[in-house]
Amino acid sequence: MNPGVQARDLFDLIPCGLISATTRGVITTVNDTFLAMVEKKREEVVGHHLIEHLTPGSRLYFETGFMPQLKAHGRASEVAFDLCLSSGETLSVFLNAVVDRERDGGTILFAVFDATLRRHYERELLAARRLAERSETRVTILQTATTAFGNAGSEEEVAHALADASRAATDAMAASVYLCDPSGGFSAPSSSGAAKQLVEAALLDALGGRGDPSPTGGLAQSPTTVVYSGSAELSAHFPSAAAALRTARVEALATVPLIDDGALGGILLASFGRPRRLDPPTVDLLESLAQQSVLVLQRIRLRELISYRSLHDPLTGLPNRHSLQRRLDQLLTGTHPNQPTIAVLFIDLDGFKSVNDRFGHLAGDSVLRRIGASLERAVRSGDMVGRLGGDEFLLICEDADEQSAGDLAERLRATVRNTPLEEATGLSVSASVGVSIYRPGTSPEKPTGDALIQLADEAMYQSKRTGKDRATIIRA
Amino acid sequence: MTLAPFEGADALVRRNNISSQGPEGAPAIVFGHGYGSSRQMWRLVAPQFVDDHRVVLFDHVGSGGSDRRAYDRGKYDSLHGYADDLLEICHALGLSEIVYVGHSVGAMIGCLAAIAEPTLFDSLVLVGGSARYINDEGYVGGFEADDVDALLDSLDANYLAWASTMAPVFMGNSDRPELTAELLDSFSKADQAVARQFARVTFLSDLRSDLSSVSTPTLVVQSTNDIVAPVVAGEFLRDSIPGSRLEVLEAEGHYVHVSDPEKLTTTIRSFLG
């Protein structure tokens, strides 16, 4: 037996493809097994690039993944590729490679194994793993968002949490949340990433805003998620914003409405720096996040409403007794000898009972609202005017000495007298005012807020007793 | 070698693994690598310029020896994020009248940077670039969208092979031999995610409509046997970038800077004049 022939047989018959190639990948030797694998003749293979036998996707990986690594590390094992067969079918293989730098100025030796069954199995595993990773990512994003929403104490913080979560969910260049404000516009955005507010403003404008009641009013009419996946689509939908989009390098955009009780409560904009499509699970995730944020916004608004109501008089909208007392206590807590004087003005309407008696309580309420609004306009900024109840109002002034408190009392009396009473024509209402003044450091005992109010009340009675429509001042 | 004329340059040097060599005050030449590689790929070309140029090499964030902690998925979801980094590097090193040589997607990153700040650049050399890899109506990029999906599949399918190749690299580069297998695994997983995203950004970007805005003198270099960026991709770049020239090199493959460094060096030098 000739051992050379035997080795040659082994080379050709061994159940794996064997190839030698130049360092640039041009095939120099190939065994019969490989030719059988790719269903090609020797002359179709030798002298050609190995890459020519790969599917386009495998070519990309070969050039950008495999070859750079092989060149850097000299060897590679069990790398998966797909070969193109003459029949048009593909064959999955594993490839081992080693670089022999000495031989013929550098040679790459390849061993190729049919891996059809294993690759099929691996593809299933891979699909399952991707699904699992995807679910895991989704859960993480939702959990992180839920925590952030839970910690949010204001609408702005909720909007920020939504922007952050949306960016994490989509890898967006920037995500911004615009909440609808009561005036019919949008609030300043809460953004995550490098948001470009100019282009976003242009987009919102082009979307028709929310104030447009016409059926053509873009969003106002059809609040659904829209993904504009490329520059052409974007400029077709937003011709007026096209230049701004280009400058801001936005090449794709997703708009997700925040639906609050069937109405638009805000909008989420996620912008991308390259053409992007969002697959249904991602859109679904964005919508879940948006919906979750709406629930949190509702909770926060309710809390703010409760807090507002607990501090305000429902009839006039002015601070109520509770907030007046709180304010006074705050002022007194900080008091030290150099602190300014505090004045408390107790205002009781004269002749209000006749309004109620003659024109009814609705007219009386209306008069109280009107006078409340006039008083609020008449006081200095920083002073607090509120309603104690009935026809009693209270003004708390920081930094008002006897002289200026007296002036203020006169101004309030004039204000009340001059408030037009359309609901109670023919009647006139005036005010009896009582003022208590406390100058820190003048008395050894610091008075309480209640005591100051009580004192002002007594002063007011003094005004009533001495003929009404006048002011009396008492020093604490 | 001096760096850091600006505050914050040190941080950038770490983030982008920047090296700078060559005489102070010499014309600056910056090399930008492509997808799937690192600044190492310029090892045969860059030294040819060190005598008469200030040669700057760097790794894109997420590649090579860059600081992985700087990888922000939103920022690097488009080539603009990388272009911003390139501009930051040029400013931080105080470079001007820059010759930028970019390979593959690194070439396209250079185009975006030169559009954003044309005054910073003297000239562009685009090696194996492509404005868009996916075929489109009336445009040949060389690939279909499915092929990019197949590439992503390959990245995943070859995760094990890849991780076992890269593991010694991580270990070798690390001053911390106590790195556990677990830690290593988490590193490679993070890198795998970066590689997937960079692949998407590279192969799904479309810069066709940007190219007419390039005002920097540009040389397009394409090699005859490049399956990633075929010669037609180079012709498209030449036809779209005003005043640009195309040089087709008889060379093998996508990595002409590795397969034929002398030819590429000569081509760049004759373009620079």
Angle subtended by helix axes A449-465 and A321-333, to nearest 10: 120
Model pLDDT, residue A426: 77
Distance CA B226, CA B129 (A): 10
For chain A, domain boundaries: 3-114, 136-308, 321-475
A:B CB pairs within 8 Å: 141
Distance CA B18, CA B16 (A): 5
Q: Does B165 reach chain A within 8 Å, measured CB to CB?
A: yes
Q: Does B209 reach chain A within 8 Å, measured CB to CB?
A: yes
Interface test mutation site (partner B, options A28, A48, A52, A61, max chain B beta carbons within 10 A): A61
Interface test mutation site (partner A, options B165, B173, B189, max chain A beta carbons within 10 A): B165
Task: Indicate whether B71 belongs to any domain.
Answer: yes
ipTM: 0.83
What pLDDT, in 10s, does the model give residues B20-60? 999 988 999 999 999 888 898 899 999 999 999 999 999 99
Distance CA A357, CA A347 (A): 21
CB B35 within 8 A of CB B198: yes
Query: Mean of the pLDDT values across residues B192-214?
Result: 92
* B33 among known catalytic residues: no
Region for A36 from its dihedrals, namely left if φ exceeds 0, alpha if ψ lies in -120 to 50, beta otherwise: alpha
How many angstroms separate the CA of residue A63 from the nearest CA in chain B? 7
Nearest to B78 among A24, A130, A173 (CB): A173
Distance CA B95, CA B119 (A): 11
How many angstroms separate the CA of residue B254 from the nearest CA in chain A? 7
Least confident window among A112-126, A258-272, B176-190: B176-190
Q: Does B81 reach chain A within 8 Å, measured CB to CB?
A: yes
Residues B107 and B211 in one domain: yes
Task: Indicate whether B153 belongs to any domain.
Answer: yes
From first CA to last CA, the distance across chain B in angstroms is 26
Task: Indicate whether B230 belongs to any domain.
Answer: yes
CATH number for the region A3-114 comes to: 3.30.450.20
Closest-CA residue of chain B to A232: B209
Model pLDDT, residue B171: 44
Angle subtended by helix axes B145-157 and A116-151, to nearest 10: 90
What pLDDT, in 10s, does the model give residues B136-188? 999 999 899 898 888 888 888 777 655 555 544 444 444 444 444 544 555 56
- In chain B, the percentage of residues whose pLDDT exceeds 90 is 66
Q: Is the pLDDT of residue A461 over 90?
A: yes
Residues B210 and B192 in one domain: no
**Segment of A179-183, A362-366, B158-162, B224-228 carrying the highest mean pLDDT:** A362-366
**Residue A25 and residue B253: Cβ atoms within 8 Å?**
yes
Distance CA A469, CA A402 (A): 19
Residues B14 and B89 in one domain: yes
**Segment of A127-131, B57-61, B228-232 carrying the highest mean pLDDT:** B57-61
Residues B212 and B189 in one domain: no
**Residue A272 and residue B77: Cβ atoms within 8 Å?**
yes
Q: Name which residue leads in pLDDT, B251 or B13.
A: B13
Interface test mutation site (partner A, options B133, B143, B154, max chain A beta carbons within 10 A): B154
Q: Does A58 reach chain B within 8 Å, measured CB to CB?
A: yes
Task: From the candidates B226, B240, B244, B260, give the one annotated as an active-site residue.
Answer: B226
**Residue A171 and residue B74: Cβ atoms within 8 Å?**
yes
CB A37 within 8 A of CB A91: yes
Distance CA A189, CA A207 (A): 16
Q: Is the pLDDT of residue A110 over 80?
A: yes
**Residue A57 and residue B151: Cβ atoms within 8 Å?**
yes
B242's CB contacts (< 8 A; 6+ apart) are B212, B214, B215
CA-nearest of B137, B110, B112, B141 to B228 is: B141
Task: Indicate whether B103 belongs to any domain.
Answer: yes
**Residue B165 and residue A81: Cβ atoms within 8 Å?**
no
Task: Indicate whether B139 belongs to any domain.
Answer: no
Radius of gyration of chain B (CA): 18
Assign B227 a pLDDT band (cuts: 50, 70, 90). Answer: confident
Q: Which residue has the tokens 């705050």?
A: A330
Q: Is the pLDDT of residue A411 over 80?
A: yes
User: Which residues of A, range 193-222, sit inside 8 Å of B by Cβ?
Assistant: 193-194
Interface test mutation site (partner B, options A96, A235, A274, A279, max chain B beta carbons within 10 A): A274
* B226 among known catalytic residues: yes
Q: Name which residue leads in pLDDT, B36 or B197.
A: B197
Residues B74 and B93 in one domain: yes
Q: Is the pLDDT of residue B6 over 60?
A: no
Query: Mean of the pLDDT values across residues A352-369?
Result: 90
Q: Which residues of A touch B155 (CB under 8 A)?
A: 61, 65
Two tokens, residue A221: 């009419």
User: Which residues of B, range 12-71, sit inside 8 Å of A by Cβ?
Assistant: 34-37, 40-41
Residues B196 and B215 in one domain: no
Model pLDDT, residue A412: 94
Residues B71 and B171 in one domain: no
Q: Does B147 reach chain A within 8 Å, measured CB to CB?
A: yes
Q: Is the pLDDT of residue A232 over 70?
A: yes
Q: Is the pLDDT of residue A121 over 50?
A: yes
Model pLDDT, residue B87: 97
Q: How many independent structural domains does chain B possess? A: 2
Assign A9 a pLDDT band (cuts: 50, 70, 90). Answer: confident
Determine whether B87 is exposed, middle or buried from the number of CB atoms within 10 Å of its CB (0-12, 13-18, 19+).
Answer: middle
> Judging by DSSP bridges, how do beta strands B245-252 and A392-398 pair with one another?
unpaired
Task: Indicate whether B22 belongs to any domain.
Answer: yes
Q: Which residue has the tokens 């022939």?
A: A5
Task: Indicate whether B140 belongs to any domain.
Answer: no
Task: Indicate whether B169 belongs to any domain.
Answer: yes
What pLDDT, in 10s, does the model give residues B96-138? 999 999 999 999 999 999 999 999 999 999 999 999 999 999 9
Two tokens, residue B237: 């770049």
Q: Name which residue leads in pLDDT, A199 or A335.
A: A199
A157's CB contacts (< 8 A; 6+ apart) are A148, A151
Nearest to A173 among B74, B255, B259 (CB): B74
Query: Mean of the pLDDT values across residues B227-250?
Result: 95
Q: Does B140 reach chain A within 8 Å, measured CB to CB?
A: no
Model pLDDT, residue B175: 47
Least confident window among A22-26, A255-259, A281-285, B205-209: A22-26
The Cα-based distances of A180 to A18, A285, B19 in angstroms read 68, 22, 50
Residues B163 and B211 in one domain: no
Task: From the candidates B244, B254, B257, B260, give the one annotated as an active-site residue.
Answer: B254
Q: Which stretches does DSSP call E strand in A351-423?
A: 384-389, 392-398
Angle at CA B54, nearest 5°, toward B49 and B56? 90
Angle at CA A384, nearest 5°, toward A383 and A385? 125
Assign A218 a pLDDT band (cuts: 50, 70, 90). Answer: very low
Q: Across all residues in chain B, what is the average pLDDT?
A: 87
How many angstroms separate the CA of residue B273 from the nearest CA in chain A? 30
Number of Cβ within 10 Å of residue A349's Cβ equals 20
Residues B248 and B159 in one domain: no
Element holding A431 (H helix, E strand): strand A430-438
Residues B154 and B214 in one domain: no
Q: Which residues of A touch B79 (CB under 8 A)?
A: 273-274
Distance CA A329, CA B127 (A): 75
The residue range of the domain holding B36 is 9-134+206-272
Q: Does A122 reach chain B within 8 Å, measured CB to CB?
A: yes
What pLDDT, in 10s, does the model give residues B54-72? 999 999 999 988 998 999 9
**Segment of A230-244, A319-333, B209-223 carrying the highest mean pLDDT:** B209-223
CB A435 within 8 A of CB A406: yes
What pLDDT, in 10s, does the model give residues A39-91? 999 999 999 999 999 998 899 899 888 888 888 788 888 899 999 998 889 99
Model pLDDT, residue B177: 46
Please indicate whether the domains covering A3-114 and A136-308 agree at the CATH topology level: yes
Distance CA A96, CA B209 (A): 42
Class of A136-308 in CATH = alpha beta
Residues B264 and B232 in one domain: yes
Two tokens, residue A440: 């820190």
CB B134 within 8 A of CB B150: no
Assign A335 a pLDDT band (cuts: 50, 70, 90). Answer: low
Model pLDDT, residue A105: 79
Q: Is the pLDDT of residue A424 over 80?
A: no
Angle at CA B46, nearest 5°, toward B49 and B128? 115
- In chain A, the percentage of residues whose pLDDT exceeds 70 is 95
Distance CA A214, CA A258 (A): 20
Q: Is the pLDDT of residue A219 over 70?
A: no
- Sheet of A252-260, strand order: A190-193, A174-179, A263-272, A252-260, A226-228
Cα-flanking dihedrals φ and ψ of residue B52, to 5°?
-125, 15
Q: Which stretches does DSSP call E strand in A241-370?
A: 252-260, 263-272, 342-350
Q: Is the pLDDT of residue A214 over 80?
A: no
Residues B22 and B86 in one domain: yes
Query: Mean of the pLDDT values across residues A123-136?
Result: 89
CATH number for the region A321-475 comes to: 3.30.70.270
